[in-house]
Structures are given as C-alpha cells and as structure tokens.
Structure 1
Amino acid sequence: MVSASELPVQERFDWFSDTLSREVVPTALSTARPAEFQAEAAVLDLGGLRTATLGFSPLDSRRTPALIRRGDPGQYQLGLMRCGTASLAQQRNECEVGPGDILIWDTSRPSDVRTASEDGLVRLAMLQLPREAIPLPTDRLAQLLARRIPGHEGVAAVLTTFVNALENHGGQCSREQLRQLGTTAVDLVAACLAQHLAAEDHLPAEVRTRALLQRIHAFIDHNLADPELTPSAIAARHHISVRTLHQLFRQQGEGESVQARIRRRRLERCRADLARPALSAHPVQVIAARWGFSGPSVFSRTFRRMYGVSPSEFRELSVGA
C-alpha cells in the first residue's frame, strides 16, 4: 500500500490523479479541498487482470471522449464499495451505491462519478477486467452499467468474500497462484453479472461449473460450525444431487472429497484458534465443538493424523513459542 501521506500536502492530489490515470485509466479528477486531500492505493496483478485497493478523500471523476481517445484499456471495471458513497452515471444509466454494494462501468464509454464520505476516506476495491474476458453479450452487459448490485446476496456475496480474501492474502501468493485466482475472479464476476441479467444460460458450461464450485466452497466455509454440514446438506442447498456434488469435486481436480475438504477446513480453523494466546483458557474440546467436530476423541485422532502432534501438544508449542 502506497500512501500520499508520505508526500508534501500540496502534491498529494496531483500524485493520486497521476497514479489513477497511469494504473487504472486516464480520468479528470476534482476535489473541493485539495489542501486536505489524503489517498492510498495498492495494485495486485492477477495475470491478465488486476485488482486495485483505493482509499481517498471525496472527489469527482469524469471520463470524457477526449480522455477515452487518449487512453482506453478496453476494460470492464467492477467496484466494491467499502466506505462512503458513490454515484455513477454512464450509458444513460445512473445509480448511487454505499458500503457493500457493487457497480460496474465500461472504460470505453464516458462516465461521471461523484463520491462522498461523512467520516474519513472513501474506500473502494476494484477489479480491472479485459472486456473479452467476460463471456456475456456486450449489449446485455450494457444493461448493468451504472446499476447498483447488492453485494450481500447470491453470487455477489461470494464475489465479495473472494475480493476480501484477495486483499488480505493475495500478497502471500506466488505468481502462478495469482494467475489461477485471476481465472476464479473472472468466473465469479461473470456468474454474478449473469445472475443479475437472469442469463446464466449464456455462460459457458465450464464457467458455470467453476462458479458453482466457488459457491460451494464459500458455503462450506460459512457453515463449518454446523455438525450437520454433510454432502447431502450441501447438495440440497445448491439444488444438485449428492452424486453430482461428488462428481464436481472429482472433475475439477480438487484432489480431495467433499468430506475431506470439510474436515481440512475445520482442522485449519481449530489449529488457528489453538495458536491464539487469547483462547488459551478455552478447553480443547470446546474449540473442537465450536468448529463442528462430534467429539474430543475424534478430533484428537484427526488432528494428530493431519499435523503429527496432539491438539494439546500443538497449543503448548504454539502459545509458548
């Protein structure tokens, strides 16, 4: 993350304007209080697409035909609002979004954006997607430009969780892993947009399958504490048969069964809790039950098989380190 706070006050707005035009797209920015302007930015390359994490004082942004002629990456840009509000006008559409909302715009079309924040910076996570990467008809996607997409439901909620994880952990991934994450990002964006167009049938079967798998992974992670989290429950929630669920895991090269993934993710959560000094007074069996294990003996055997030590031994080594 690079911050304007490292620069003299009079240079901060110009620095952010130059950074945005260079790293995102040429844009004309204006702000009511340039002498008080603050901003920070971080970019992550996912191999063919990029994410940008931005924080900035309220400003207005215009992308004019002249600026489009000056530089156009030919992208759809998808924004996830973190803090503050934004109003976007493009393609005779207009919307206002707040924290948790998603919006999309086309860099090849003129646009106007106004942002505001009552307390602190406007914060936005952005995905920069090559137009040809989204396997949906251009005329259909135009219907979603400058339209509010709630980020807390359906595929949009899975996409939001994915973007959050990218921000928090993307810097720890290798170049190849980031490239794979880029493919997942495109699939989730396409599935999210298709859902809001009621056009999932327009997506290639492979994209629909990968997006379904990501929804299943998110569902598993959100329900690890439920001892009734079984392949049957997962299949029913996603309106597929148990047989189809198992085939999905095999065909996508996951290298583990549905039950194995549930067990691994539960063990990872337990391991993280056992290593936290703040939870050192919590009995091991309480932590195991918190993450859906049916009993302490089952948990202890499974933990030792995975990590080579008992839960108690691991906690002693970790907390005492």
Structure 2
Amino acid sequence: MVVMSGEWGPAGDRGAGASSLVSMSSGELPRGDRFDWYVELVRESIAPFSLSSAHAHGFKARVAAVDLGSVQMTHFVFEPLRAARTLRHIRRSDPETYQLALVGGSPMSVRQCGNDAEVDTGSLVFFDTSHPLDAFVPDEHGQGRVTLLRIPKQAFPLPAGQADRVLSRRLTPDGVSGAVLCQYLTTIRDRATDLARASVIGSERSRSISPPRSSPSMLTPGICYRRSPASRSCAHRSTPT
C-alpha cells in the first residue's frame, strides 16, 4: 500500500508531472503496518535489505522520488534503524546500481568491502548494490535524512575497479567535486516539483512537433528491477552471509 503526500508540493499542483514525481508517507497507514511498508519501499527503490529498528511499531517515514531519465533521485526521512544487504539478498535480486548518498539528518555508519565510514551530516558516501553492505543510523541524533542518487552501472563513467576504491568512504563536501555534488543533489531535492513541471512541458512540446513514439516508463511507486542470478564479490574479500 502506498500513501501519497504533498511533501514536494500539493498533490493538485503535480498534475501530469505525477508520472515523474512521487511522494509517499507512512502517516496514514495503521501503526502496525508502517515498518513492513518501509521495508518494501526500500526493496523497490534501492534493493532488498534486512531492516531492524527499535521504532518498528508506528515507524515514521517519508519518501519522495524524481526520475531524471537514466538516473533517479530519492529523498528518505526515517526513524533510526539498521540495514543489512547480504550475499543472499544479492543473489536474489541485484539492480546493479551505484548509490551516491548525501546524509542530511542523523550521522550514519556504513561498511562495505572492508571499508568502514562514519558519515556525518552534510557528507557523502558511495556504495554498490552488488556487494554486501551494513548501515546503521543510531538513536542519539534523531531521524535519518538521506538524499540518494541511483546510477546504473552501465551509465557510470569509471571502471568497476576504480569505483570500488571509494565504496563506503566518507566523501567530504569541502572540495570542489564534493561541493558540486552536494549542490546538485540539494538542488534536485529542493526543486523537484519544478523539474517535474519542466519535464511535462518538454514532453508536450516534443509531441506537438514530432509523431508519438514509445519511451521508457517513468518512476512509479512500484519499480521493477532486472534480476541477476549471482552476485559479484569484492576482489580478495570474504564476507559472511
């Protein structure tokens, strides 16, 4: 069950842009159903994970997503939790994507491919759905807030070996590259409604000057991923299931 909200603008303002902008909240669900709803939402929007939280009953979460064509951005607000993606999860389903996360609420701890990162508010971290991952958002600092850019591996400009070297490492926002990435993510997050409207206007203009043609489906609350029969593992690393 998906509950739509107006987190990124009133529902009436989204109009035809609703196909490229989706906003969801656990607030209108029964308290006992909220955590299961969020687990399923993470599975659909990122990949399968095992989630646990001391706040599972009555779990509070909001999620908003915008489709940018070859990449998608999702903004999560959620109660403190622990997340684990194991080899079993990867064998079951791997969308084969990289995820660039901007942490905006509680700091979080991340471990992947033997790298441990303590990611504080305002910093970035990079991870890969094809490797086991552990992430933890503690209770001490309130809700987690993460803006996540999902990038298909075939669209990523670096070879896998180079990308693996920065997995689960805190990426500082102080340098030029970090500042540009942070500004990019925050601008999309804060101007998502405008982007959705612009997408609709552009589509209408395109249809007015060219014959109709088929196009990839836009982001919807239920996302179908390509499944992979087997996982990849980090070179010379061994990770328990």
* TM-score, length basis structure 1: 0.53
Shift of 1:154: 1.4
Q: Which moved more, 1:64-73 or 1:46-55?
A: 64-73
The answer to whether structure 1 residue 123 and structure 2 residue 145 are counterparts is yes
Q: 1:144 to 1:152 in 2, by over 3 A?
A: same
Q: SS where residue 150 of structure 1 aligns?
A: coil
Q: After superposition, where does 1:203-218 map in structure 2 within 5 Å? A: none
| Residues 151 and 157 in structure 1, CA contact (< 8 A), matched pair in contact too | yes
Distance in 1, matches of 2:42 and 2:183, equals 25
Q: SS where residue 184 of structure 2 aligns?
A: helix
Aligned counterpart, 1:9? 31
Aligned counterpart, 2:117? 95
Aligned partner (choices 114, 134, 156) of residue 136 of structure 2 = 114
Aligned counterpart, 1:71? 93
* TM-score, length basis structure 2: 0.70
Aligned counterpart, 1:134? 156
Shift of 1:171: 2.0
Shift of 1:48: 1.3
Shift of 1:172: 1.5
| Residues 94 and 129 in structure 2, CA contact (< 8 A), matched pair in contact too | yes
Q: SS where residue 95 of structure 1 aligns?
A: strand
Shift of 1:170: 2.3
Q: 1:157 to 1:58 in 2, by over 3 A?
A: same
Considering Cα pairs closer than 8 Å and 6+ residues apart, tell me whether 1 or 2 has the greater RCO: 2
Aligned counterpart, 1:26? 48
| Residues 43 and 53 in structure 1, CA contact (< 8 A), matched pair in contact too | yes
Shift of 1:118: 2.9
Distance in 2, matches of 1:147 and 1:177, equals 39
Distance in 2, matches of 1:177 and 1:48, equals 19
* CA displacement, residues 221-259 of structure 1 (integer Å, 9 cap, x when unaligned): xxxxxxxxxxxxxxxxxxxxxxxxxxxxxxxxxxxxxxx
Aligned partner (choices 185, 193, 199) of residue 175 of structure 1 = 199
* CA displacement, residues 67-110 of structure 1 (integer Å, 9 cap, x when unaligned): 11121111110100001011111111111101011001110011
Aligned counterpart, 1:35? 57
| Residues 100 and 152 in structure 1, CA contact (< 8 A), matched pair in contact too | no
Q: SS where residue 140 of structure 2 aligns?
A: coil
Amino acid at match of 1:83: G
The answer to whether structure 1 residue 61 and structure 2 residue 61 are counterparts is no
* CA displacement, residues 136-171 of structure 1 (integer Å, 9 cap, x when unaligned): 121111110010001232111111111111011122
Identity of aligned residues (%): 32
Unaligned runs of at least 5 residues, structure 1: 180-321
Aligned counterpart, 1:164? 186
* CA displacement, residues 163-182 of structure 1 (integer Å, 9 cap, x when unaligned): 11101112212338999xxx
Which is richer in strand?
A: 2
Q: CA RMSD in A?
A: 1.8
The answer to whether structure 1 residue 48 and structure 2 residue 73 are counterparts is no
Distance in 2, matches of 1:60 and 1:178, equals 41
Distance in 2, matches of 1:176 and 1:7, equals 30
Distance in 2, matches of 1:91 and 1:99, equals 23
Aligned counterpart, 1:305? none
Which is richer in helix?
A: 1
Unaligned runs of at least 5 residues, structure 2: 1-22, 204-241
Q: How many residue pairs are counted as aligned between the two chains?
A: 179
| Residues 70 and 155 in structure 2, CA contact (< 8 A), matched pair in contact too | no
| Residues 43 and 50 in structure 1, CA contact (< 8 A), matched pair in contact too | yes
